Chain A
C-alpha cells in the first residue's frame, strides 16, 4: 500500500501521475486507495470515482477530460491547505478512481475500517446507495459531488449523504423561472432515449406545472444522430429536425439530451425560428466556464492554472465537497470527523461558492442550496433564482423540492 499523496504543496495527486502513465488501465488509482497514517491535525477525505465510459462528443472542439471531478477535489484540498497554514489543519485527500464498481466498494470498506469518515463520491445513483448502506457507514458522510438525481434527494435519500450539485428539479426550476421572467411561457419538449434524458424531461414537466409554463408539445427524439458525421449528413439532420418540430406552436424548444447525442443539432434547424434551451442552448447549470461574476474569475484562473483546462460542473461539485469539509473543520476548530460532519449539517454552516449568496445544506434532504447559472457556451445569460421569485425562508429554496413536498423522510 502506498501512502496517500499530500496535496498541500505540489498538487500532484493521483491523477497527475497515474493518468499520464496510462489512461487505459482498468484500475487507475486503486493502488493509492489506502488512507494515510493520520496526523493529529489531518482531515482525511477519501475521493471515490467510477470512471465511466464517455461517449464521443458531437464536436471535436472540446477536449474530453478524463479527470473531471478529481481535479476540482484537488484544487479544493489545496485551497483548504492554504487556510490550513493558519489553523494547523491539513486536508489529506486520498483518491481512488476505477472502472470497476467492486474496486470502489472494497476501497470504501478499507477506508472505513481505517477510521476514515469523510467521503467525496463521483459515482452513479445505484453505487452511491450501495456505499451509503454499507456496514459501518452510518456515522460517515458521503458528499455526492456529481449526481443530479432527484430520487437520491427524495424517496431514496440516505441520512449519511449530502448532495453538492443542483438536482434536476433545481435545474428545471431555474430554467422555468427564466422563461416566466421573459414571458416565454409556451414550450415544446423534445426528449432523447437515454435514462437521464427521461429524468430530465420529468423534471421539466414538474417545473413547468409549478411555474405555470405550458408544454404545448411533448415529443421523443428518435432519429439516429450518426448521420451528422456523414458527408452531406447535415441535410438529413436538418430535415429530421424540421419534421420533429413541425406542427407545433411554442416559444422555446426545450431539449432533454444529457448524453449529448443530438442537442447540438437543433438550433437554427427547427421548423419555426425558435431558441433552444435545456441540456443544450440556454443551459441551467451549477457551473460554467463563462461564469465571471462574484469573483469567480479567481476560481476559474486557479483551476485553469492547475488542471490546464476549464472547470467543469463535476469539478465544481467536487471542489464544493472538499471545500465544505475544509470550511466545517476551520469553523468548528476540529479535525474530528464527527464534529466536522455535525458542523456541516448545522445551522451555522455556510460556504462561499462564487455565485453570490452563501450556500448551505437543506436539512430535509441534504441538498446544497445554491443559485443556478443560465448560460450558453459563450456567455452568462442570467442567474436563478430570478428577481421576484421569493421564498419565506430563503429565496434559494424557490429552486428544487421544498420542505413541505419532500419525499425524504430519513433523519
Chain B
C-alpha cells in the first residue's frame, strides 16, 4: 500500500481538504452595505451632481450569459441591473463597435453574430459568422471582425458594413482567442487543442507564424504599444508573453495557490492596465484573479472572486475591473488601486464576457 494515499494520510490532510473545498465553494460576496451607506451619506449629493452635470461620465456594463441567452445591462455608477436583453443561443464573446453604439455578440449555438443597438437595446442586425463563433476581435477602424469558429478550425473574416464573410483562414483545432495588433497589420488567433498562437498577416490572410505555448491557449491580448502579446493557457495554467516582432516566448508566467487543486488553476481572461501597472489574469475554477507585475512577471496578489472567473473589463477610468464568474452567476468588482474585491453583483446564468461602454 502506498503511504501517500492511505486512509490515515487522508485524515491528516482533512484540514487542507476543507480549506480547498471551501476555496472552491466560496459563496459570492455580498455587497458591503455599510460601505455603501457611508458612501451615500457623504457623497450622495456630489455624486448625483456629477451624474447630472456630466452625463458623458456615465457608463454601462454589459455581461453575456451563456446559459440563459441574455445580455445583462448594469449602470456603471450604481451597479444596478437596468435591463436584461434576450439574444440568440449561447452568447459568449462580446465586443463593442468602434463608435461605441453597438455590441457584437457571438451567439455560438445560433451560429451567427448578433448586433445589439445600445440605445434601443434591440438586436438590429444578424451577421454571418460560420459555425460556432466563440470569440472575435475588431479592427481599429471598426470595419472588420475576425471570428474564431471553434468547431471547424478556422477564422472567418467578416466585413461588418456589408454583413459578408470575405475570407476564411484555416488555423489549428478549436480556435478561440482573437486579438488585432494596434497597427492593424497582424491578427492573433489561439487554437486550443493545437496549443498554438497563430500570427495572421492581415494583408494576405495567411498564417505567417505559429508559436507553441502551454496546453489549451484561450485568450490573447496585445500590450498597448503592440510589442508583446499575452496569451493564457487554460490546462497548463500559465501565461506566455510573446515578442510580437520575433515571435519568441519571452516569459511564461506561472501561478501557485497551495490551497487550490492544481487542475483548478486555469488561466483564461487577461486585462492589462493602460498605464502598464498591472496584468489581471482570470484563473477560472481557482476562483481567483491573479495580479501580475508586467515588468517582473511576478504575481503580486491573488484576489478571491466568484466561481469560475472567465473574462473581465475595466471601467472607463480603469479604476475598477469587472469579472464574469461563470458558476456563481455573478460579476465581481475589483478596486484596481486597492487591489481588493469590493463587491459582487448577481447577473444572469453562466456569465462569460464583459464589455464596458460609455
Contact = CB atoms under 8 A, between A and B. Distances in A.
B17 A83 contact: no
13 contacts: A79-B173, A82-B172, A83-B196, A86-B198, A210-B1, A210-B2, A356-B263, A357-B235, A390-B4, A390-B5, A390-B10, A392-B4, A397-B5
Interface string A326-342: 00001100000000000
Interface in B164-205: 170, 172-174, 191-196, 198
Interface stretch (A148-156, A295-303, A309-317): A295-303
A398 interface: yes
A134 interface: no
Interface stretch (B32-40, B111-119, B208-216, B338-346): B208-216
B61 to A, nearest CB: 27
Task: Pick the most buried of B3, B4, B191, B207: most chain A CB atoms within 10 A of its CB.
Answer: B4
B236 to A, nearest CB: 7
B262 A395 contact: yes
A389 B21 CA distance: 12
Interface string A216-254: 000000000000000000000000000000000000000
B42 interface: no
Given A173-B5, A357-B263, A388-B21, 7 more contacts: A86-B198, A211-B5, A212-B7, A357-B262, A390-B4, A390-B13, A402-B2
A209 B6 CA distance: 9
B24 A387 contact: yes
B151 A404 contact: no
Interface of A: 79, 82-83, 85-87, 173, 180, 209-212, 294-295, 298, 301-302, 330-331, 350, 352, 356-358, 371, 387-392, 395, 397-398, 402, 404-405
Contacts of B170: 82, 85
Given A301-B151, A330-B212, A389 B10 contact: yes
A391 B216 contact: no
A298 B176 CA distance: 12
A302 B5 contact: no
The 7 residue pairs across chains A and B that have the minimum distance between CB atoms: A388-B17, A86-B210, A357-B263, A402-B2, A356-B263, A83-B194, A212-B7
Given A358-B236, A395-B261, A211 B7 contact: yes
Contacts of A397: 4-5
A350 B172 contact: no
B198 to A, nearest CB: 7
Interface secondary structure of B, over-half rule? mixed
Interface of B: 1-7, 9-10, 13-14, 16-17, 20-21, 24, 150-151, 153, 170, 172-174, 191-196, 198, 207, 210, 212, 215-216, 234-236, 261-263
B169 to A, nearest CB: 11
B215 A352 contact: yes
Contact of B235 (A212, A352, A390, A395): A352
Contacts of B13: 388, 390
Nearest to A355: B263
B252 to A, nearest CB: 13
B193 A352 contact: yes
Nearest to A298: B174
A82 B4 contact: no
A173 B6 CA distance: 11
A210 B10 CA distance: 11
A352 B150 CA distance: 17
Contacts of B1: 209-210, 405
A388 B16 contact: yes
Contact of A404 (B2, B172, B196): B2
Contacts of B24: 387
B151 A298 contact: yes
